[in-house]
Structure 1
Amino acid sequence: MLFENKNMGPIVILVLINMSAALAYNCLPRDYGHGSIVCVCNTQHCDAIPRVQKVEATSYIVYTSDKAGQRFNITTNKFQRVKRDNKRGYFSKQGCKQQTLKDYPMSRRKHYRSVKKLWNITQKTETETKEILINQDVTYQSILGFGGAFTDAAGINIKSLNKDLQNKLMRSYFSDDGIEYNLGRVPIGGTDFSPRGYTYLDTDEDEDYTEDLLLTTFQLAKEDYSYKIPLIQEALKLRNNLLLLGSGWTAPKWMKENRKYNGNFAYLRKEMYEPWANYFIKFLDAYRNHNITFWGITTGNEIYFAMGLFKIPAVLWTPEEIKDWIRLYFGPAIKNSSYSNIKILTNEDNRPTLTHSLDTVFSEKQNLEYIDGVAIHWYFDHDFNAYILDETHHKFPDKFLLYTEACNGMAPLKPVLLGAWERAEKYAKNIFEDLNHWVVGWMDWNMALDLGGGPSYIENFVDSSIIVNATGQEFYKQPMYYAIGHFSKFIPRDSVRIYSSQCNSEVEVVAFKKPDGGVVIVILNTSDSIQRRSIVDAVKGQISLELSSHSITTVLYW
């Protein structure tokens, strides 16, 4: 049976309709009673999304996924032309709420004023069809990409499948007929999603206080050889422009004041500042020996979050301490090595930490030269604090902002909810918000977990975009997978965000100009009703859309 949740009455009719819609677009649906469906991949079947083919200039393509069961439903249509001599009047009576002047950098405010004067945008009533206005001449940040993490847990789950299913899962993420991930985060040593705590300088007897300041005993762990390296090599075959970001969780116990892997007040001992910097170089060397090179490296995972009483392995820093560590040890170690071109990202913690930490770290002018970007996690993001991203961008405009971790299902929530559309919407809303506030890319956490949301040796179980059922030899693509895919599949690297008018809290919009000249517009409808929108691009014309309730839509044209 395709559906394990057999509710009676009208719900059965609705589910069957959804099943038909999903099957028509190559998804094998299953309803677990959490609001929407998962798409099942097994030995006989796994849905695919062919790479987008360019259409003629008079046409556009629409991809839709929704709570009702559509997954990348494809339609094409023709533009409706807007007469050039009527554009002034057309724009004066149509339109959504415009972005404010402060949303534009100083260099573009003059252009903004001219656009606003021409279009004279006003807010429409709820009963009218709102317009989404696109201006390809107003540009913002360039996009780096989208991806997920090669954790031990992901590797354990992927490797629990037969070879055919392993290949299907990897293709689902990285191939041209998948969602085309082009970023991968690689933990340096163990994380909370490892089968055990470990670093690359542990002894077999786990002698906590054996010090090796010259790192002569450094060696990769069995998890690297069994899970990370093989899957990274496979991903690189599928996506040759994959960029890898290395991120460290914990230093060896003997380097830390608390002599533990976890981050409970786990400061690094001052005499270990230099060995800890050199540890990263050793990691890059070891992976290079397996023909794996890194685009970027961070100064450490959640270095401030570790202040609390948490079991997650970590090294704790104060902003003053990491400022000095970067300037005196980490920055020079990287720049004086054969990895001098690698991108260095700092912070790698939650949004509220940005203001104070970056002001402190960048108060050292040398650190401005060492640091290329800022890594951010999503766990304390709220609509009211998105301004922090704008402030950070305007303070440090040459430092890119990259989201490097997100996941649903953290305690006290149930870790895994198969088919939970609200978790897809939560992902999508965060990606919309981030991209509209100068962020250049977004990365999911574990690429695959089991039905319980693990393994995690500290039992920090969460949800994942793909859930593996090893016993049944199948895996499930969650709605979250498709939410990310509406961005990662269609917004290639070096796309540039362009102006799109913002309508209301129920319909969110972000737009991009691709390197090949195409335009990508992603729209999120979180309301319980159909929302009617018209996309108006002065260069191209008008597109009329009916956005199904609780849907994500991607529109493409050239």
Structure 2
Amino acid sequence: MLLTSLGLTLLLANSVAGQSIEGLGVSGGRGPRGGIGDDAHPVRRPQALITDAKIPIAPNTTRQLAPGPAPRLVLHNRTLSTCDNRRAVLIDSSTGGAQQEMLGFGHAWTGSTVSVLDSLDDDVFVQVMRDLFGQEGNNMNFMRHTIGSSDLDGNQYSYDDNGPSFNQGEPDLELANFDLGPHGRAMAKMIARMGDVKGDVFLFGSPWSYPGWMKHNNLFIAPNLNEGSYSNIMNNSFNTKYIPQAIQYFTKYVDAFRDHGVTVNGLTLMNEPLNAQGGYPCMFLDAADEAAILAQGLGEEMHNRGVKVMAYDHNTDQPMYPLRVAQGAPEYTDMAAWHCYQGSVANYSVIQDFHYAYPDKLQFMTECSNYLPEAGSDNWSVAQNFIPPVRYGASGATMWVMATDPDFGPHSPYGGCAGCLGSIIVNSSTTYTKTNDYFMVGQFSRFIRRGAVNYKVLEGVEGTTYDPNWFDLIAVKNPDMGWAVVFMNNLGSDQDVVLSFTAGGFEWEGTIPNATVVTWLLPSDQIVGQSGVLPQASGTAVSGTGTGEGRICSTTSSVASSSSAPPTSMLEPVPHTTHTIAADGRSSGVA
């Protein structure tokens, strides 16, 4: 039965706040490849990293992961004078404020990604992999990939089509014709090379469709097929008589990727299981059928292989779907996955609702895309779909399509996203561009370590995703016991912030510029205590009692709207916005 309101209330009252990532089949991310904030690389001085929301019209015209004025310690023996118009941010740093552990942030491997990265010269490919996964790059460690083709793939296929096309094959009851095929093998081999750069990535797979013969497929061929039309698949849904074959299909896929040196850590049974439009790489999969596939053998097979199962993998407007899966296969439903495409904005509070019902199951935002962004406009897509999910209880997030060509492809001829922006645009065999999305993802993946703990934000958020102006943030304590606090300021003016914690410790203050995403890296109280009062940050106006350690006041003027650009004097060079690799292998061009 579904939960009654009384039962949900009791679960809310008795639920345990924290959720652990222990046992996910990946390393803890705290070794030499973990990055700043892990046990081996503690934060020793406060830092601020800024990415402007504005999509640059030309290189080097906006801040992109650029150092900014560092936050400073608050000293209580001075007057507030002209600096008392501050935004108070309060974090519940008590045991009761500790929420979920963080797994990571990243992107999606798609057919388009494999195709365009494979076109790069090898030394350029090595560089882009370092930019994406290296500790000096975006350090991504939570990645999705497509099982078979998706809409971001120029070739439509499954791993067992057994016929002339991906929707016209004959039943293969023994899966004798299972084969990754040339495109599947290319993806597996490229993902294996990701491991050469970063060895602790959590990788999960999602199919856009099962083989066509596993579906209720009444095929209708349009009479004008040769005039640009295409086959229309009606009743595009899973046929439950093929549950045994579906179990074999996923099992063979995990084993085949392992044979290519790729460990699959997680799985969703269907990308967007409520999407069944004809002529599109998709398939309807009812929640009861998803639970049945797990309960009748797939759950056990996956757990025997160390693979965690994520329920749902679709929009937040149908929150009962993952609950139904978890009720039908509770021991095999490890996680829940959510997408952002609920109208104009997603309602991520459903993550909190699911947590009340299943406090031990992790959750993630597994897909959102930035559609046809325009140069000169503000881009909040990553921040709007990374910060709220984490604040409501998600342990990580992935954006859609990691890399494309300049025409947002290759993509399916049958439909799909013809304008989804990736982190990387491959321009030629020797050049690629890092987009604004690349730097926005980096605000999270570079500084929030695996095993970090998210804490409740009690004060400081203003507005919601439904409002035109909005100030939001998340605060996580990294394994080094320091803090990574990610702010999003879309209020229309610079915000002077004072950050404090309920369980004591030091207070910090600084300015979050308008129309930016800013990450503060704060050293642990122990390191601050050992080093004493930190020096005054440059570029700030100070007021106080003459000690030289007053609070920060913004020296920049507030701007009229969130689309205004920052002053030119505050801009910092954007390193390697576009790489041109010379014949000798050295990077040239934009520096």
Calculate the TM-score normalised by the size of structure 1.
0.75
CA contact (8 A) 1:386 1:437 kept: yes
C-alpha deviation, 1:268, in angstroms? 1.9
Quote the residue 1:450 is aligned against: 405
Which residue is equivalent to 1:326? 294
Going from structure 1 to structure 2, the CA distance change for 1:513 and 1:292 (only over 3 Å counts) comes to same
Asked whether the 8 Å contact 1:466–1:475 carries over to 2, the reply is no
Is the contact between residue 250 and residue 262 of structure 1 (CA under 8 Å) also seen in structure 2? no
Q: Is the 8 A contact 1:451 1:467 kept in 2?
A: no
Q: How far off is 1:504 after superposition?
A: 1.2
Once the 2 structures are TM-superposed, how far is the Cα of residue 420 of structure 1 from its aligned partner?
Answer: 5.6
**What is the Cα deviation at residue 220 of structure 1?**
0.9
Equivalent position to 1:525, from 489, 499, 502: 489
Q: CA deviation at 1:51?
A: 5.3
Q: How does 1:286-325 map to 2 (within 5 A)?
A: 286-306=256-276, 309-325=277-293
Within 5 Å, which residues of 2 pair with 1:190-201? 190-201=149-160
Match of 2:462 in 1: 504
Q: Which residue pairs with 1:26 in the alignment?
A: none
Match for residue 422 of structure 1? 378
In the alignment, what sits opposite 1:146?
A: 105
Is the 1:61–1:74 Cα contact (8 Å) retained in structure 2? yes
Q: Quick check: 320-329 or 494-503, which moved more?
A: 320-329
Q: Tell me the distance in 1 between the aligned counterparts of 2:180 and 2:366.
A: 23
Report the CA distance shift for 1:376/1:279 in structure 2 as closer, same or farther (over 3 A).
same
Q: What is the Cα deviation at residue 433 of structure 1?
A: 0.9
- Of 65, 86, 91, 2:51 maps to 65
- Which residue number in structure 1 is paired with residue 394 of structure 2? 439
* Structure 1 residues 362 and 233: alpha-carbon distance in aligned structure 2, compared to 1, 3 A threshold: closer
Q: How much has 1:380 moved relative to structure 2? A: 1.0
Cα distance in 1 between the residues matched to 2:43 and 2:273: 47
Instruction: Give SS of 1:133's match.
Output: strand
One-letter amino acid of the structure 1 residue matched with residue 422 of structure 2: S
Residue 462 of structure 1 corresponds to which residue in structure 2?
419
Provide closer, same or farther for how the CA distance between residues 328 and 525 of structure 1 changes in structure 2, counting only shifts above 3 A: same
Amino acid at match of 2:408: G
Question: What one-letter code is carried by the residue in structure 1 that aligns with 2:378?
Answer: E
Residue in 1 aligned with 2:566? none
Instruction: Give, as a single letter, the amino acid of the residue that structure 2 aligns with 1:502.
Output: G
SS in 2 for 1:65: strand
The 8 Å contact of residues 425 and 435 in structure 2, kept in 1 or not, is answered as no
Deviation at 1:81, TM superposition (A): 4.2
- 8 Å CA contact 2:443–2:519 kept in 1: the answer is yes
Letter in 2 for 1:489: R
2:362 pairs with 1:406: no
Seen in structure 2, the aligned counterparts of structure 1 residues 240 and 542 have a Cα distance that, compared at 3 Å, is same
Q: Deviations over 1:170-202 (max 9, x none)?
A: 111100111110012121111111122111112
Q: Which residue of 2 aligns with 1:216?
A: 176
Q: For structure 1, which segment, 59-68 or 217-226, has the greater mean C-alpha deviation from structure 2 after superposition?
A: 59-68
Structure 1 residue 541 displacement after superposition: 2.8
Q: Which is bigger in relative contact order (C-alpha 8 A, separation at least 6)?
A: 2
- Aligned pair in 2 of structure 1 residues 130, 72: CA closer, same or farther (>3 Å)? same
- Verify the 8 A CA contact 1:263 1:314 in the aligned structure 2: no
In the alignment, the residues of structure 1 paired with residue 216 and residue 382 of structure 2 have an alpha-carbon distance, to the nearest angstrom, of 37
- Determine helix, strand or coil for the equivalent of 1:436: helix
Matched, 1:157 2:116: yes
**Is contact 2:90-2:499 (8 Å) kept?**
yes
CA gap of 1:51–1:178, structure 2 versus 1, over 3 A, is farther
Matched-pair contact (CA < 8 Å) for 2:162–2:171: no
Q: Say if 1:263 and 1:310, in contact at 8 Å, map to a contact too.
A: yes
Whole-Å separation in 1 of the counterparts to 2:377 and 2:249: 41
Aligned mates of 1:438, 1:526 — CA distance in 2: 22
CA deviation profile, 1:422-469 (whole Å, cap 9, x unmatched): 33x122022111111001110011110111111112342132233424
| Counterpart for residue 184 of structure 1 | 143
Residue number in structure 1 paired with 2:327: 363
Q: 1:152 to 1:288 in 2, by over 3 A?
A: same
Instruction: Work out whether residues 148 and 446 of structure 1, in 8 Å CA contact, stay in contact via their aligned partners in 2.
Output: yes
Residues 263 and 145 from structure 1, CA distance in 2 versus in 1: closer, same or farther, beyond 3 angstroms?
farther
List runs of 5+ in structure 2 lacking aligned partners. 1-34, 55-60, 220-230, 464-469, 524-591
After the TM superposition, which residues 86-105 of structure 1 pair with which residues of structure 2 at under 5 Å, given as runs? Answer: none
Summarize the Cα distance change of 1:285–1:54 in structure 2 as closer, same or farther, 3 Å threshold: closer
- Give the alignment partner of residue 238 of structure 2, picking from 256, 260, 268: 268
Contact 1:143 1:493 in 2 (8 A): yes
Give CA deviations for 1:65-98 in whole Å, capped at 9, x if unaligned: 11360112224657434449x9xxx9xx9xxxxx
Aligned partners of 2:395 and 2:517: how far apart in 1? 20
Q: CA deviation at 1:475?
A: 1.8
Partner of 1:29 in structure 2? Answer: none
The 3 A distance-change label for structure 1 pair 159 and 242 is same
CA contact (8 A) 1:273 1:329 kept: no
Cα displacement (A) at 1:526: 1.0
CA shift at 1:141, angstroms?
0.8
The amino acid of 1:211's aligned partner reads: P
Given that 1:189 and 1:221 are in contact with CA atoms closer than 8 Å, whether structure 2 keeps it comes out as no
Shift of 1:517: 0.9
Secondary structure of the structure 2 residue equivalent to 1:237: helix
1:25-174 correspondence runs (5 A)? 54-56=42-44, 59-66=45-52, 67=54, 69-75=62-68, 77=70, 79-83=72-76, 128-137=85-94, 138-174=97-133
- Aligned identity (percent) is 23
Q: Tell whether the 8 Å contact from 1:161 to 1:470 is kept in structure 2 after alignment.
A: no
The alignment of Structure 1 onto Structure 2 pairs a total of residues equal to 454
Q: Deviations over 1:250-295 (max 9, x none)?
A: 1222221116698753122232111011100010111111121111
Give how far 1:474 is off: 2.0
Aligned to 1:552: 517
Q: Which moved more, 1:439-448 or 1:316-325?
A: 316-325
C-alpha distance in 2 between matches for 1:416 and 1:221: 34
**Inter-partner Cα distance in structure 2 for 1:285 and 1:233:** 14
Contact between 2:512 and 2:518, CA under 8 Å: does it hold in 1?
A: yes
CA contact (8 A) 2:364 2:389 kept: no
For the residues of structure 1 that align with 2:68 and 2:42, how far apart are their CA atoms?
A: 14
3-state SS, counterpart of residue 399 of structure 2: strand
Displacement, 1:316?
1.1
Asked if 2 retains the 8 angstrom alpha-carbon contact of 1:141 and 1:439, the reply is yes
Contact preservation (8 Å) 2:247, 2:297: yes
CA shift digits 1:155-182 (9 cap, x unpaired): 1111222222222221111001111100
